[in-house]
Chains A and B, each alone.
Chain A
Amino acid sequence: MRTKNIYNPKKLILLVFIGMISLSGCKKFLDINQNPNNPNTVDPNLLLPTAQIAISQVVGNSLQVYGGMWSQFWTQGPSANQYKPIDLYAPANTDSDRPWANLYSKALINSQLIIENKGSNLEFLKGMAYLTKAYSFQIATDAFGDIPLGEALHADNVKPKYAAQELVYDSIFNYIDKGVALLSVTGSNNPGAQDLFFQGDVAKWKAFANTLKLKAYLRLSKVNPAKASAGIAAVYATGTPFLTQDVSIKYTSVGGNDNPLYNEIVALGRAQNLVASSTVVNQFVANGDQRRFKFFVLRSGQTEITSIPQGSYNANAGKLVSLPAGLVGANPSTSSNAALAPVKLFSSSESYFLQAEAAARGWASGNVTTLFTKGITESFTATGITDATVISNYLATAKDGPLALAAAVTPEAKVKAIITQKYYAMCGFQGFEAWTEYRRTGYPDFLVVSVAPPTGTTTKPQRMVYPNSEAIYNGNFPGNVDIFTPVWWAK
């Protein structure tokens, strides 16, 4: 049956021909790799809110918990487990992965991409990005000590070297100066509503820059007082006012736009992980401080804030302990309005306490008592206490109030009174900053060692552990540092 098939060669030629057409059409056929889901470029104004939200997430959630517990406003609740390693002084390296990544690959990189943008009339935006970057780097170094700085934030360098904390601080001052200079350029476009901190108010940004610089120089008070005093003198010399308002993002009850700590608590099934620590509650009681009923909530049937000693969750199983109030975001109940709680990147009372300290140390002008008292009244106002008699009663009678400042003779004693008051004002609002100032000054002096760590532990944490991700992936990781080792400015 082998008949010769005359169609065959033609058929083969046809096939080869089809094949060649296919090949030449191939390029177009395969040119479909443009991502329809995400853009490859965006307006830099769109990056600013992300950077601001990211720093607020770090300060308001993860660092708020560490700071809130290590400054002993809060302790681990007996009916839950989430933060036991913090009270145990045994945080895992992996626990630092998230805040570190949110700082570097969210807050800082998006600020950096704004700064590097080639567009025109972006000076204001870039100024804000520089200041966000400065603030973020300070948070990072205060938490971890030496950190990647100059070699950081470059896509082509996956093992950035670590910079000494002293150098980080120098850079922070430099970034602030650059930011202020850019904010002074005329003719720049204003990001307006894209700026979640000040809605484009350049004057407020300058006050932010000034207050940030004051805070940063004061951080050097122990390690390098000469530099601190000179720097502060220069800050005052500019004549720019300091912040008279909180710096915070206005959260709403919309899921994903709510207070980040509350949002976390919701996602954790509203477990009662954070409860009142006796360290701060006992002092509030001793001072007759009405703010305690604002920072914490009474349990049903109780008339006083119930607290447990720091780290004593095991000994208090089943005990009804007061929870932080919705005001500070750490309350699990929907009705507490915790969703709306602000994350304070700066508070107005903090601004006054910083100025009071600069004056008390003799590094700046200003009436210490006035500034100190203003700090206290701002704090009362921030908790919603507007009754003048409650405030004046506190000012007149509280042992740690103006009485303490009046009794103080040395600058150190004045600083003690100021930082102790600042500590009260920061209860639940600014846990990380309170803990950081404790590390710098040793005040307040009534903090205890958590009872959770192994018997014999006598020291308190001085830094956060480096993230596991750096230890594993950064070839220039300098090695873990014990959490009880002070950072450079606390030495």
Chain B
Amino acid sequence: MKKLILSLFVFLSIAAAALAQDRTITGTVTGKDDGQPIPGVSVKLRGAQGGAQTGADGKYAIKVTAGATGLDFSSIGYVTQYVALKAGNVISVSLAGDSKSLGEVVVTANSIKREKRTLGYSAPTIKTAELTEGGNPSAITSLTGKVAGVNITSTSNTPGSSSRIVLRGGSSISGNNQALIVVDGVPIDNSTTVGGASDLASVDFGNRGNDLAPDDIASVTVLKGPAAAALFGSRASNGALIITTKSGSKGAAKTDITLTTSNTFSSVLKLPEFQNEYGQGYYTGDDVGKPLLVNGVYQYTNDPRENGSWGGPFTGVVQPWGQAIDGVRQQKAYSAVKDNVKDFFKTGFATDNNLSFSGGGDKSTFYLGLNALNSDGPYPGKSDTFNKYGVRFNGTADFSNKFSAGVSFNYVNINSNNVGGGQGNSSVLNNVYQTPRDISLTGLSDLTNKYNGYGYVDGSGRRHDGEYGYYGAYTQNPYWILKNFVNNDNVSRVTGNFNISYKPNSWLDVKERVGIDTYSDRRRLLSPKYSFIPGDDGASGFYTAGDLRSFQGGYEIDQANVTELVHDLMVTARHKFNEDFEGSLMLGNNIRQRSTNFNNTATNTAGGLVVADFYNLSNSNGPVNILLDQMSKRRLFGLYADLNLSYKNFLFLEATGRNDWSSTLPVKNNSFFYPSVSTSFVFSELLKGSSVANWLTYGKVRGSWAQVGNDTDPYQLTTDYRRGLISGGFGTTILPFGNVPGFMINPTLGNPDLKPEKTSSFELGTELGFFDNRFSVDFSYYKNNSKNQIIAVPIAASSGYSFGLVNAGEIQNKGVELSLRGTPVKTTNFSLEMYGTFTKNKSMVVSLMPGVDQISLGGYSGMSIVAAVGKPYGEFYGLTNQTDDQGRTVINASSGLPVRTASAQYLGSYNPDYQASFGTTFKYKQLSLAVLFDTKQGGKFYSRTKNILGFAGSSAITGGERMNQIWPNSVYIVNGQSVVNNSVTYNKQDYYTNSANVFPGVDIVDASYVKFRSASLSYVFTKDQLKRTPFGSLAVGLYGNNLFIWTAKENKYADPEINSSGAGNAQGFDFTAQPSVRNYGINLKVSF
């Protein structure tokens, strides 16, 4: 771990150029404990000027000048060692670890490297080894459980799927709440745009923050609070992830070539629990629609068209089913296919290959990384594939004239196919879940079979192009959907920066950095055009021409182009006032520009396609539908200052100030200033020599206060007019109407008086190390208040407008974060390390706007997710079953069914009460085993999976006795009094199949879980073992992530982490979202 930090530290501590020399000493520096080379060790001449550093392979070369008597080998985290010069030209040393120093270096805002002890805020750092050990292809998801205060939601956990990262709760009511992602000093775009034909048919195209290859990353520092991120300005008000990519090292004896290959298998983690008692059909109704009883036996209709499993109890009797094609129906036993859904999914496979070259000359370094990730997910066929190719080049060069320069370049190309979710035509899961319990899904896979397909060839060889043989009249064959609905995504992205440093003397440092992030994200959504009537020849007695399956088809192109340019100029002056007191002042200028261009175009909504299976906008049946044509540009100009003072290396003070001018705010309000101050006090320095120092090795307290201002999106100041568009709920009337053009006023009122948003934060914390740092603690308490939020508040439509942009509202987040780390056992061959984190964040919407109690953040099917005053941010809000004062369900005295609440109710938040993790690393000689568990407890999620499985009569709760049920713990109201219900009954089919009975609140499910998040077992070969091989190092490992889940008892439906709105604010919605997967595999890392 230390070694990697050191390699970052390499060119910071480079000494002045050496003068004339007599000879060159070379050697290798290794660690005493593991024998592995240590990069970045400073090698200095004693008695003369001159120095060098070890490369990635631990080798160094130094030119010895006159007067030199010996070499000092020093490195953070190791005891400094002196070796006197002798006759030979080779000096190799092994350094002992220094657990006392904890002199870790972290990369903070603007890529400034700082010693951790000097920081007045929490800034935990994760290194590449920890990041990649679980084998997760998402760098963001890999952070799960590793750091306190970080809430990561990983959706389906497949390559390319979304993962959301929120630090210390959401601070913005309607804006972005995710942490800013900064790569090598340059913020990168982390947008997420959920695709799909509508909100109800979501396709997760991932979020752009996941484009980074974890293998290219050297470290990730999490700047959790505004104090840490103040220098980044407004966009970092939600904290920041500071990602540093790998680099080469100077003076490396040879180019390091490393090949890493990981082969991952994936399978669905959690499927719903099903009933296995009843099959296809429904009860037979009598004259008034009640279940028909004949001789005391309920009668059922085995309607072969049905998607519901509301038929009679299983008998095991072989009986005909489905359509009669060529006059013959298929036969099967009327019994449950228990593992039906499980068997539908296959084992996914992904292979991730990384090849890197790193090294450097005397004055230059380079790193070249190549990645290829090819994945085919758990859906059958090739409909869920993700292929990502990336190349990264990082290089630095020192010039003789006090200049040095660096360049970083990353190109990523992604081509993926994604499966539709939700309830749209393209949703596979929606059809899988609505397959009756007695019909084998895998038996439907052969689409050429006349009983399965759409457009088939009968026994006599005759084609039936307009007919289908599939059994279902209300659902579609999921295999056919997988084959015919395509959601393709192609991303091409370049990120990078170049920087020039000028260091005219020892106390001044000028750095200029220009970064760019530009990508094109092109999505193509293909929906087939079809019209099929049943092929049934009447023998089944059910199918008619009315059981038509038809769709006009469609083709949509969503094109997004986003370009961000960032410039930073930083001038830093350092001064040592006396032996005890030193300081530095940095002045900087930041200019940022973000341009976006979105263009979504589709074939005509009603007309669809002219020619089937031909996907081109020219094939639109009617005028092409322009869904979105929008460009935007915003600029920001900032000036900042950062003052650092330190006293005797134990008392540190940092103050920053920044003033921004934003193009998005009105001229009168577009300049805003925000300060921060933080302090760190390493009190253990004062205890040196006392008895306390025997057990308290390291002790620090820290505190910070900061403000961050924030601007808004472009074009929010005026109320504009736009093309007339009247939505009826599902359908829409669009102008122009024929040749008549029409405009309308924007229902959102602009605001010419907007002011910047302000987030204030306060943090206190401590870091303690005990018994030679065998046990360490890091604790923080924080409180953040975000005020003057710029939000589009919904207003009464009777004003003529639906939303008004205002500066209002306040969100408060307060909480504690605790990290513990201990090494209870450590011997030469064996060590056991344990760590854990605990995070509790309490968010609360303090106020919105006078007269406004809540704002919707999104929602589906009558369930909204809202920001409501006095509630945590992200509260579910919807109708639910009415209960009396004792919590008993109120039912209707005649129907026996629950009565709904008079109005929508608050039903809990998607935010967990607390989250925690526990990990352990176990090492024996070259073998190491790491495992990590994490948990979130107390949040809620809305499960449409629960709803649809109830509707279809497939879920476990629809099993058991179905007729004449008394609603558990129910009462009915007589004259305002609760009367316990012992007599009024209902039957489950009437309840579950009628959407008017099943109020959205009953589908809110406890989201608590414990996950076996990751595990890895690796073996590193020793040098001796590799003696006769071409390999410099070789490691093999087994790994897994998202391996097991334990959920709340009431959650029989889905992994609570899955989400239909990707990384957006409307979290906690399983709107038949893609199931999450467990991944496990084998990797090999070899270097030459």
Which residues of A come within 8 Å of B, CB atoms? 1-3, 5, 7-8, 11-12, 15, 19, 22, 26-27, 29-42, 46-50, 53-54, 56-57, 61-62, 79, 81, 84-85, 88, 90, 92-94, 97-98, 100-102, 104-106, 108-110, 112-113, 147-148, 152-155, 157-160, 193-194, 196, 249, 252-258, 260-270, 272, 299-301, 312, 314-318, 320, 333-334, 339, 451, 454-456, 467-475, 477
Contacts and interface: CB of A to CB of B under 8 A. Distances in A.
Contacts of B661: 26, 30
B282 interface: yes
B301 A318 contact: yes
* Interface residues of B, dominant DSSP: loop
A88 B726 contact: no
Interface stretch (B175-183, B680-688, B795-803, B1043-1051): B795-803
A104 B799 CA distance: 7
Contacts of A27: 667
B703 to A, nearest CB: 32
B739 interface: yes
A30 B721 contact: no
Given A256-B605, A270-B550, A314-B289, 14 more contacts: A30-B662, A32-B633, A32-B663, A37-B715, A38-B721, A50-B742, A57-B728, A84-B994, A160-B798, A194-B742, A317-B282, A318-B301, A474-B796, A475-B851
Contacts of A266: 552, 605-606, 731
8 contacts: A5-B504, A40-B719, A41-B721, A106-B726, A155-B801, A158-B851, A264-B728, A474-B798
Contacts of A109: 745, 800-801
Contacts of B591: 22
Interface in B623-666: 623, 625, 629-635, 637, 639, 661-664
Contacts of A48: 742
A255 to B, nearest CB: 3
B756 to A, nearest CB: 14
B901 to A, nearest CB: 11
A152 B799 contact: yes
A253 B856 CA distance: 35
Report which residue of B303, B506, B729, B853 has the largest number of chain A beta carbons within 10 angstroms of its beta carbon: B729
Interface residues of B, number: 107
B571 interface: yes
B988 to A, nearest CB: 14
Nearest to A473: B796
A37 B289 CA distance: 56
Contact of A155 (B425, B632, B800): B800
B711 to A, nearest CB: 10
Nearest to A467: B797
A258 B728 CA distance: 12
B287 interface: yes
Contacts of A101: 747, 797, 802
A40 B746 CA distance: 10
B1023 interface: no
Contacts of A19: 589, 639
A39 B718 CA distance: 10
Nearest to B739: A193
A470 B851 CA distance: 12
Contact of A454 (B734, B747, B894): B894
A79 B474 contact: yes
B735 A50 contact: yes
Contacts of B719: 40, 155
Contacts of B796: 148, 158-160, 469-470, 473-474, 477
B720 A39 contact: yes
Interface in B762-811: 794-802, 804
B420 to A, nearest CB: 14
Report which residue of B545, B741, B852, B892 has the largest number of chain A beta carbons within 10 angstroms of its beta carbon: B741
A35 B718 contact: yes
A356 to B, nearest CB: 33
A106 B734 CA distance: 13
A265 B900 CA distance: 28
Contact of A62 (B663, B728, B900): B728
A11 B504 CA distance: 10
A260 B728 contact: yes
A247 to B, nearest CB: 16
A24 to B, nearest CB: 11
Nearest to A194: B740
Nearest to B744: A50
Contact of B630 (A2, A37, A267): A37
Contact of B743 (A42, A88, A249, A255): A42
B737 A47 contact: no
A84 B996 contact: yes
Contacts of A105: 747, 797, 799-802
A47 B740 CA distance: 11
Nearest to B629: A37
Contacts, number: 316
Contacts of B544: 299-301, 320
Contacts of A299: 544, 546
A7 B504 contact: yes
A320 B797 contact: no
B234 interface: no
B895 interface: yes
Interface string B523-550: 0000000000000000000101110101
Given A22-B589, A22-B637, A81-B994, A102 B726 contact: yes
Interface in B1-28: 16
A88 B631 CA distance: 46
A98 B727 contact: yes
Contact of A315 (B285, B510, B639): B285
A301 B543 CA distance: 13
B505 interface: yes
Contacts of A155: 719, 749, 799-801, 804
A36 B629 CA distance: 10
B801 A29 contact: no
Nearest to A31: B663
B670 interface: yes
Contacts of B745: 47, 109-110, 113
A452 to B, nearest CB: 8
Contact of B571 (A15, A26, A263, A470): A15
A53 B721 contact: no
A8 B505 contact: yes
Report which residue of A105, A152, A196, A249 has the largest number of chain B beta carbons within 10 angstroms of its beta carbon: A105
Nearest to B878: A94
Contacts of A37: 629-632, 715
B622 A254 contact: yes
Given A1-B506, A8-B505, A455 B895 contact: yes
A88 B892 CA distance: 14
Contacts of A254: 604, 606-607, 622-623, 738
A308 to B, nearest CB: 10
A109 B795 CA distance: 14
A272 to B, nearest CB: 8
A215 B1048 CA distance: 61
A93 B879 CA distance: 11
A98 B729 contact: yes
Report which residue of A100, A101, A255, A339 has the largest number of chain B beta carbons within 10 angstroms of its beta carbon: A255
A255 B744 contact: no
Nearest to B545: A300
B743 A46 contact: yes
A159 B851 contact: yes
B406 interface: no
B302 to A, nearest CB: 11
Contact of A53 (B632, B639, B735, B995): B735
B799 A153 contact: yes
A254 B736 CA distance: 11
A41 B664 CA distance: 20
A454 to B, nearest CB: 5
A469 B796 CA distance: 6
B428 to A, nearest CB: 16
A326 B781 CA distance: 66
